[in-house]
Every structure is written in structure tokens, then in C-alpha cells.
Structure 1
């Protein structure tokens, strides 16, 4: 008899049903915060403090910056009074990072455009806010008053922070794309307590090959910071992918360019499996026990590319194979505005979230049986989506989906009952092998105890 072959479509349907049965993506619309004016794709950034609590900084086009945070379980949206943002100025982009893991060392960058009412000419500025005195209370309100304004001779676009190897070791640097088709590098000068633009051709040689206006960039360091992967995409439709060997003199070891006939709005580097970095104190214990710290599969990184007029594509293992996978229905909801990659259903594998101007967030999942991406879930919003983030802003130990639309901020929370089931399941899976080992050792322990008791009786006799 001839064996029946499994229908690929049925395999997809079956695996999709199994995934949804294990991890339900029911979201609760926890809170909504209205903005007085619209932002853009560059005006939302998470900021995590030393205690692990995450704030959301969001800027509106009309010079206002707001901080969304939860205090004692209660949401609060407040205006942060950043200095050197004059009336009539328009905020283009914002980015923020805490450079310390033991204290508050916030550094915030804001790019603005100011128009002169009399002449009609525009001036552009890159404002960097930080507190150089680390012994003081570097709270957000304090940092917002310490500004270093840098005047620009180009229109700013994407503002991005990363790390670079300098003379004194690793340091946080700013990358800013501009209308002059250059990605500018800004480094700190501790002696003068200021920031200045430096030549980035040595630290970031991959940017020499970038042409056209860069609309988005992403950087990921791998192999214990010995290599980095960089992707840029832009207005001209070119997507540049690089692998860089990070040494005292970094060099590009491989590159690839994909050209589209229309602008590419976003790109993201990711690994297929979710990875939580081992804390420093556990790394020391693993070294003493001569165990290797778990690492993600860094040699098979993928890149998702979001286009403005066509479907999005995922290039899996782009450095070796580079096969492209189309994300189905990703071009049916107007232009793609943003994308993030995260394990949103808590199964250990990362999903792709695409934000669209068509008022929808599309969730895509990789199906191993048929080797394809499928549309897993759709979140409908009342307005166009501009930016996405996935972080623990509520401080309850679970992540929330942060969606910025043209009217405000939506906080989408996972169903607490579903999260409780996931937590209990993981605790049971964690304890099961330990209980099995305990039961296996019980007879030997009982025998050893009986032998010890008999020896004690003989000695007493």
C-alpha cells in the first residue's frame, strides 16, 4: 500500500492550532493615553532605570515630551520639561539609555527643527541631555535640565544609540542619519563634559558603503562582542547588511545589498529563539562549575525588512544562505511603519510584529514543519500605528505591548489568567527533573541512613 503524504496546509493548520491552544494571545486594553499632537515613527523610546522599572518617553511634534510610568500600580502620564526646545520647534526623533546598571545615569537625545518666523529659514539641533555629576540625583527631571545643544547643517532622521570600542573601553555613542546621506557619529568627551561629532569611518567602516538617506538602522553585537551585525535601509530602497569584525581597527568581513524600487521604512536583526542573557552573578557560578553560559544561535541571525508599498520580507541566515521569505498579507494594510521582534506568546521562539498605517499590528510566526512564516494574530487599532515596543512598563513582571498611534498610546496587557498558566507550567517543568532526581536518590539515602544507625547501635553496645 502507498503511504499517504501529509498535506502541508493541514500541517500548518495543526501546528497553528497547537500554538494557539498552548499560548493564547488574548490582549486586554489596559490603558490609553491621548496625545495633544501627533508623533512619528522616531518619537517613542523605552528607558529602564537601575531598579529594572521601565518608563516610556514619547514626544509629540509640538515640542512636548511625556513620560509614561506606573507608580504603585497606577499609571501616570506627565510632561517632562526639557530645556532648549523653543516654542514652535518640531521634534523629529528621541532616544534614551541608562548607561549604568547600579544607578541612574540617563542620557537622552532629542533632535528638533526650528523655523524662523521672520526669515522662514529652518535650523536643526541635536540636544543631548545628561548629568555629568554621577554623585547627584540623576533623576529624569534633573537630566532634562542639563542640555548640550549641537547645531546641525542637515535635516535629522533616525537617532540611534549603540556601543563602540574607544580608547578607554566600551562606551555609548550616538548615530544620527541625515538628509546629507551620511550617518553621523557622536562621542562623549569626559574632560570637557560635552559631546562632539567625530569621524566614524574607523569605528563604523560599514557606513562608508551606505548611500542615500537612511531611514532606519539596527546593530547587534555577537560572539561576546567580537563581531557585530549592522543593517541600514533608506529612502532609495537599498537595504545594506554587514558583518564586522570588531577589533582595535574594525573591518567589514561580509556584506550584502538588496535593492527595492520604493522606500524601505524599517529593518530589524533577530535570532529565531528567544534569549535571556545570564546575569553577571550567575555567570561567575557557571564558571566555577565549569559550565558554559547558554548562548543564542548567533551564526544564524535573520533580518526582517519592512517596505512601504509591498510585502515585508525575512532573510533567514542572511550571512550564509540569505533566503528571503515573504510575510503573507503584510502589504494589504497600507504602508508598514515599524517592526519589532519578541517572544509574544511565551513559547521560547520569537515572533515578528509589524505595525501598519492601516490601523493594524500583524503578528507572524515561523512554522518549522513547512518552513514558512504565517500570519498568527492581528491586533486592530482605531488609528494608524506609528511605533511599537514590548517591555514591562507596568512593573508586574510580564511584558506589555506598547502601541503608539496617531492619536495616543495604547497599553495592551496579556490576559493575567493566561500568564498565570504559563508561569505555573514553567515552574512545573523546572521542578520536575529535580523531583525525579530526588526520588532516584531516596533509596540510596535510606540505605546509607540505616547503615549509619546500625553502626551507631553497635558502637554503643
Structure 2
């Protein structure tokens, strides 16, 4: 009986995947929000609250920060009045994170450049917004009024948050690349209610000897949090990739450096399979699966490098693989500005999305049936203006993800065809129901045990 259920489930999954390969993505350009002034590749960030709803924070170069969200199914965009952003200042980058899963504990970082009209000199600041009272739910409006400004002696670039193991366990820290060819690390001091820069050699030894201005960085931890992969790309075309053991004191175990002729705009670390959180009502079944099934060894990480004027490159197991795979036609639509990795066709495997200044987003899908595996163009999305940034998240609050495309004039929200989403949900519910039946012990099995 179980063999029949398993074979039927495998056939259903196979038919679904084959159908997806033959079918192009069916997107609806649901909404467009214009911005008074444009941003850049660093000025869009999603922010998910404790209820699971996602807001989009987007900053314009002229000191304005907007929040895009859906309220009662209706889209709205509003300006958020962040303090300590003086008139005439330019916002360079923004990043945000919610440190709590049960309440609002937003931390928002904004880097700015301020020019003195009298002397013409520039000053640079890293503003950290948070509510130190962890006993209260901090709304975005409250957090935006609590600012800790840190003056910088370098021009800021990419702002990025990541967890690291500190004295009191895992904590969230800020990484900020600068014009001084360094990656600066800032961590919070809850006692003094402040943020301080710390030496990167202890927690991030891979970033101690950078020789190029880092335009983008990405870090990914293994499922057991014992290893991490770090990658950076720079203005001079230098791409650094590291394997780091973080069981005790962080130690670089492998590294590789690749030099390109042109700057690299983006780098992403990813796995082929996408992992979704297990619903509470299925966590018991999941534990039974973990006991019954042998866990597969963790696959080597993939790294995609978005080169600006050359072809984008995908590396698989960069330590042992000497050459990467060039994404076809990735250099045919003007400069590559950004890239993300997500399961955009909802088949359980990740795709690569490359945004270009040529007003095109290219979706690449891995074709594993060939040896060696190749990445093919799966879909193209054309927008009226150059693409600056991409995100894939549930901003509508309907349980499915939307593609967020920020251009030089505004933000497009691309929604999946609702009928196709419903078909995916029904297929997955059927598979979950059969999985639950497979792993719930029968009366005879309970008596025997």
C-alpha cells in the first residue's frame, strides 16, 4: 500500500516538474509605485514583522525613505520620517532586520553622505535605528525616531546584517564595506545602548586582508551552524570566496580568488533546493521523517557572480572546481546591476534572477539531466526602465511570494497567476496528506513497538 502511495506521489511530482519546464512563468504586473527620485542598488530591503507580513523599505537618494505594504488587501506606500537625516543628505544604503519572532524588534541601518554647503566637505554617517525597550512592541514609526548616529571616516557602500557567535550566543551584527577597502563590523552593546565597531579578525577572519572596495557581500551558514561560506566582489573585479569553520574560534579552511576585467556588482551563495519552514501541525510528522529517512550529506554551495560587463558566472564547489559556468546572454542587456536566487517557478528548486540596466530581468534554470549541468534561460521580464534591485517575498500577505523589481522610476510588483498558485497549493497539500499517512503509525505498529 505504501509503495503504491510513494510511486503515485513521485509520478505526480515528476509530471508537475516536467509541466513547469515546458511552461513559461505567468506573471501579472499587479502594481507600480513611482518614486519622486531614484535610489540605487543598495536602497531596497524587505522587513518581515512577527506576524509574518513583509514590508518593503525603499530609500531615494534625496533623503526620503518609503514603506510599501498591503493593508486589508490594498497596497499603500507612505513616507517614514527617519530622524537624523538632514536636508541635502544622500542615502547610500539601507538594511533592516526583525530580531524577534514573537514581537516587533526592528533594527534598521541607513548610511548617508552629508555635504557642508560652506566648506564643500563631505561627512559620512551610519545611522542605527532601534528601540532598546525590548518589553514593548516597536512599530516602525517608533523605531524611526530612535537613532544612534555613528560618524564614519570612509565612504560607505554595501550594508549587510548577519548572525555570528558572540560571548552570549548568536547575535546579529552589521557589516559595512567602505572606500578604504575594508569591511567594518558593528555589534550592539545592550548595557550602554550603543553600537561599536569591533575588530573583524576574531569573528570574520576572512575579511582581514581585503585589497579592493567591496561592492557586495554574502554569507551563508550550514544547517548545523558549524560552517559558513563567505563571498565578496569588488570594484576592481576581484571576487573572494571562503570556507570558514565556526565550531569554536572562526578559522578559514579554504579560499579562492578570481580576478575579472570589470567590476562585479553582486554575489550570491545558494543551494539548489529551497527549504520552507515546517508548519506547526506537521512538525510531529517531520520528526518521524527525520528518524525514518537517512539524511543526505549537505551539498556544496553554489555561488553566482554578477559581473557588470562580462558574463555572469556560477561556481559549484569553488574549492575543487577550477572553472565556473557562464550564464548565456547575461552580458547582452547592458550592465548587470543585481541578482537574487529563489524558487520562482515553485518546483522546489532555486533559479537565478539577473537584473540589468537594459530594462530586463533574466531567469535562469538549472538543467540537471545533462552532464555537465547547464543553466538555461527560463524566462525574461521586461520593464520600462533600468533595473536597480530585486527581491522575492510575500508583500501582499496572501501566503505566496511576489517579485519586487525596483527601477530608476519606481517599484513594480509582479504577482504569480492566482490559478497556478492554487494548483501548486493543492498538489502540495495532497503530497503532505499522503506523507502524513505514511508516517503515522498504525495500531499494529504501535502495539509491536
Report the TM-score when normalising by structure 1.
Answer: 0.88
Indicate the SS of the match to 1:243: strand
The reply to whether residue 397 of structure 1 matches residue 399 of structure 2 is yes
Indicate the SS of the match to 1:209: coil
In structure 2, the partner of 1:428 is: 430
Structure-2 separation of matches of 1:38 and 1:173: 28
Residues 297 and 437 of structure 1: CA distance in aligned 2, closer, same or farther (over 3 Å): closer
In structure 2, the partner of 1:451 is: none
Deviation at 1:298, TM superposition (A): 3.5
Deviations 1:183-215 (A, max 9, x none): 000010111000011111111000023221000
Residues 295 and 156 of structure 1: CA distance in aligned 2, closer, same or farther (over 3 Å): farther
Deviations 1:395-441 (A, max 9, x none): 00000000000000000000001111111222233334667899xx8
In structure 2, the partner of 1:457 is: none
Residues 435 and 153 of structure 1: CA distance in aligned 2, closer, same or farther (over 3 Å): closer
Residues 19 and 391 of structure 1: CA distance in aligned 2, closer, same or farther (over 3 Å): same
In structure 2, the partner of 1:174 is: 174
Q: Is contact 2:285-2:439 (8 Å) kept?
A: no
In structure 2, the partner of 1:42 is: 42
In structure 2, the partner of 1:52 is: 52
Q: Is contact 1:385-1:404 (8 Å) kept?
A: yes
Indicate the SS of the match to 1:28: strand
In structure 1, the partner of 2:136 is: 136
Is there any run of 5+ residues in structure 1 with no aligned partner, and where? 1-14, 445-461
Structure-2 separation of matches of 1:160 and 1:409: 21
Structure-1 separation of matches of 2:438 and 2:202: 55
Residues 271 and 366 of structure 1: CA distance in aligned 2, closer, same or farther (over 3 Å): same
In structure 2, the partner of 1:184 is: 184
In structure 2, the partner of 1:406 is: 408
Structure-1 separation of matches of 2:129 and 2:90: 17
Higher-Rg member (1/2): 1
Report the TM-score when normalising by structure 2.
Answer: 0.90
Q: Is contact 1:91-1:111 (8 Å) kept?
A: yes
Q: Which moved more, 1:20-29 or 1:136-145?
A: 20-29
Q: Which moved more, 1:298-307 or 1:54-63?
A: 298-307
Out of 410, 413, 418, which is 2:420 matched to?
Answer: 418
Residues 206 and 434 of structure 1: CA distance in aligned 2, closer, same or farther (over 3 Å): closer
Indicate the SS of the match to 1:201: helix
Indicate the SS of the match to 1:299: coil
The equivalences for 1:256-405 within 5 A come to 256-278=256-278, 291=291, 298-370=298-370, 371-405=373-407
Structure-2 separation of matches of 1:288 and 1:420: 28
In structure 2, the partner of 1:25 is: 25
The count of aligned residue pairs is: 429
Residues 19 and 157 of structure 1: CA distance in aligned 2, closer, same or farther (over 3 Å): farther
Indicate the SS of the match to 1:39: coil
Residues 95 and 65 of structure 1: CA distance in aligned 2, closer, same or farther (over 3 Å): same
Deviations 1:3-59 (A, max 9, x none): xxxxxxxxxxxx999454665411101100000000000000000000000000000
Structure-1 separation of matches of 2:351 and 2:290: 33
Residues 299 and 436 of structure 1: CA distance in aligned 2, closer, same or farther (over 3 Å): closer
Residues 17 and 175 of structure 1: CA distance in aligned 2, closer, same or farther (over 3 Å): closer
Residues 249 and 383 of structure 1: CA distance in aligned 2, closer, same or farther (over 3 Å): same
Structure-2 separation of matches of 1:264 and 1:210: 15
Structure-2 separation of matches of 1:17 and 1:155: 47
In structure 2, the partner of 1:449 is: none
Indicate the SS of the match to 2:160: strand
Indicate the SS of the match to 2:165: strand
Q: CA RMSD in A?
A: 2.6
Q: Is contact 1:214-1:234 (8 Å) kept?
A: yes
Q: Is contact 1:286-1:293 (8 Å) kept?
A: no
Deviation at 1:294, TM superposition (A): 9.4
Structure-1 separation of matches of 2:293 and 2:86: 49
Q: Is contact 1:264-1:306 (8 Å) kept?
A: yes
